[in-house]
């Protein structure tokens, strides 16, 4: 073994090694495969380890139980068990090859084999088709280690066949290219563009999981620019953005390039730590612009109402893709308000917080900073004359911090008085009227006409 392989042997988690050792002590062959091998070669080993073995799954179950593992039959039709060792799950699968994929999603048959190379040959990309053994070292029949070092995503064998087997692999190729900062090898790229239409046959939640993974890499701008055919096949609502010129003094790019720049911007302004809601909002903030297009007599383009229309499209798209509801609600609020006018005053910050509270109850505080980052990104993605607005937003961020540090007032419950005070001071009966008075009082406080002070608010109620 070379120095890198020796390092991998040292870094292989003990619970995974116990699975390998137990199977081999029983006379079978076993290897670590998949993401752990790929990531460990990059110097970032994880905790999720998969093992493949020559042992038929009933034998693997018997051996691992005898070795003290808690074994679950999680996918025995495909030869897969999950062995829990020291509290850690290790997915263990018998070497297999797969038959035709008539539905482009599932193999028509699975056949178990005895040669690990046959098992590796069925995998999607070379960087995922490597096996590692703590004594025998790296098994790399398809050049995955070289492709990993060169930052290349290459299909194993015939790319068209790989994508015909499972159309979701076209999105997986994009996800790995983004995650590994890699380029897609030309023949593989040609095939994935050709087969992108097969995504229509894939369950929407699986597409959503892959898209969510692409966004999580922080490099969705790369996907939009380099693999837009695949992205548009996954989300057809994106397609009209390509080449849609905005004909506005505020914009220097078509809607697609503007969107790519906004997606890149939210990563820059958050230091690569943007929330998933912010990433989805950046991707879809202008998705409704083509449908909202109008042109005035001078030939200038307008997109009246596109934030509200975009929020509706976002909810439909993300709902269809089974993205978690809390992410959908937060992203929708950001898209709805991405053009909301704000000023560097505490009163303006209160209005912004109130609008966010209305759009996504309970999350206004966290979303307020995300909204400012979305606005910054939107500004730097426009014409050069508009980029200065990103600097102006620094003053608004200071005003927001001041408002929050002072306690923040944007909900009725933030007031220093409550319903009982209204009933006592105004002499009104409990009911909707109490809420109406409190809303009027909140409006006065938010506008800066009144301090959020109990005595001042009681005096207002008595007036």
Comparing 266 with 432, which gets the higher pLDDT? 266
Q: Can you read off the two tokens belonging to residue 156?
A: 């194993």
The architecture in CATH of the region 412-462 reads Orthogonal Bundle (1.10)
Question: Which numeric CATH code is attached to 151-234?
Answer: 1.10.110.30
Fold classified for 3-146: Beta Polymerase; domain 2 (3.30.460)
Lowest mean pLDDT among 76-80, 87-91, 274-278, 369-373: 76-80
Say how far apart CA 319 and CA 325 lie, in whole Å: 8
pLDDT tens-place string over residues 122-164: 999 999 999 999 999 999 999 999 999 999 999 999 999 999 9
Question: What pLDDT, on the 0 to 100 scale, is given for residue 128?
Answer: 97
Pick from 319, 337, 365: nearest CA to 327: 319
Global pTM value: 0.90
Check: CB of residue 112 under 8 Å from CB of residue 54: no
pLDDT for the residue numbered 393: 94
Q: What is the mean pLDDT of residues 106-119?
A: 84
Instruction: State residue 113's pLDDT score.
Output: 94
d(CA 359, CA 342): 16
Name beta bridge partners: 80.
Answer: 75, 93
pLDDT band, residue 250 (cuts 50/70/90)? confident
Q: Which of 71-80, 104-113, 228-237 has the lowest mean pLDDT?
A: 104-113
Is it the case that residue 192 has pLDDT exceeding 70?
A: yes
Q: What percent of the chain has pLDDT over 90?
A: 81
Cα separation, 83 vs 305, in Å, equals 54
104 pLDDT above the threshold of 60:
no
Q: Does residue 102 surpass a pLDDT of 60?
A: no
Q: Report d(CA 128, CA 169) in Å as an integer.
A: 12
Distance of alpha carbon 376 from alpha carbon 387, whole angstroms: 8
Who wins on pLDDT, 278 or 445?
A: 278
Task: Say which range, 86-95, 264-273, 380-389, has the weakest mean pLDDT.
Answer: 380-389
Domain boundaries of the chain, sorted by first residue: 3-146, 151-234, 249-405, 412-462
pLDDT of amino acid 383? 87
d(CA 211, CA 238): 13
93 in Cβ contact with 52 (< 8 Å): yes
In the predicted structure, residue 101 carries a pLDDT above the cut 80:
no
Q: Residue 461: is it exposed, middle or buried by C-beta count within 10 angstroms (0-12/13-18/19+)?
A: middle
Say whether 355 sits in a helix, a strand or coil. Answer: helix
Mean pLDDT, range 287-291, rounded to an integer: 96
Residue % of the chain over a pLDDT of 70: 98
């Amino acid at each position: 073994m070379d120095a890198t392989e020796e390092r991998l042997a040292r870094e292989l988690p003990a619970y995974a090694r116990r699975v390998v050792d137990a199977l081999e002590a029983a006379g079978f062959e076993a290897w670590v495969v998949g993401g752990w091998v790929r990531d460990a070669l990059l110097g970032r080993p994880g905790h999720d380890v998969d093992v493949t073995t020559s042992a038929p799954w009933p034998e693997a179950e018997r051996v691992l139980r005898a070795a003290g593992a808690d074994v679950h039959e999680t996918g025995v039709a495909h030869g897969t068990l999950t062995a829990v060792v020291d509290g850690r799950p290790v997915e263990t699968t018998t070497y297999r090859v797969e038959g035709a994929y008539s539905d482009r999603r599932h193999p028509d048959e699975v056949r178990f084999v005895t040669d690990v190379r046959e098992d590796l040959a069925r995998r999607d990309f070379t960087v995922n088709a490597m096996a590692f053994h703590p004594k025998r070292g790296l098994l790399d029949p398809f050049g995955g280690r070289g492709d990993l070092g060169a930052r290349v995503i290459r299909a194993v064998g015939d790319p068209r066949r790989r994508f015909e087997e499972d159309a979701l692999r076209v999105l997986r190729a994009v996800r790995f290219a983004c995650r590994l900062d890699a380029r897609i090898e030309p023949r593989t790229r040609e095939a994935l563009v050709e087969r992108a239409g097969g995504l229509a046959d894939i369950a929407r939640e699986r597409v959503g999981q892959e898209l969510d993974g692409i966004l999580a890499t922080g490099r969705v701008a790369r996907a939009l620019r380099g693999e837009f055919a695949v992205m548009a096949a996954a989300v057809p609502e994106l397609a009209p953005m390509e080449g849609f010129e905005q004909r506005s003094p505020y914009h220097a790019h078509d809607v697609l390039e503007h969107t790519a720049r906004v997606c890149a911007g939210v990563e820059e302004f958050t230091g690569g730590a943007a929330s998933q809601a912010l990433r989805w909002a950046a991707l879809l903030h202008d998705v409704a612009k083509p449908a909202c297009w109008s042109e005035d007599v001078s030939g200038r383009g307008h997109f009246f109402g596109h934030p509200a229309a975009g929020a509706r499209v976002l909810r439909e798209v993300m709902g269809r893709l089974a993205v978690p509801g809390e992410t959908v609600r937060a992203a929708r609020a950001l898209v709805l308000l991405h053009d909301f006018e704000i000023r560097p005053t505490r009163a303006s910050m209160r209005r912004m917080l109130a609008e966010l509270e209305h759009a996504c109850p309970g999350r206004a505080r966290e979303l307020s900073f995300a909204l400012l980052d979305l606005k910054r990104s939107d500004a730097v993605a426009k014409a050069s004359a508009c980029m200065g607005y990103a600097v102006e937003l620094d003053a608004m961020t200071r005003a927001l911090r001041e408002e929050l540090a002072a306690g923040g007032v944007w909900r009725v419950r933030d007031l220093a008085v409550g319903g009982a005070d209204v009933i006592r001071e105004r002499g009104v009966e409990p009911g909707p009227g109490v809420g109406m008075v409190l809303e009027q009082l909140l409006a006065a406080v938010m506008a800066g006409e009144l301090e959020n002070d109990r005595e001042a608010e009681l005096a207002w109620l008595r007036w």
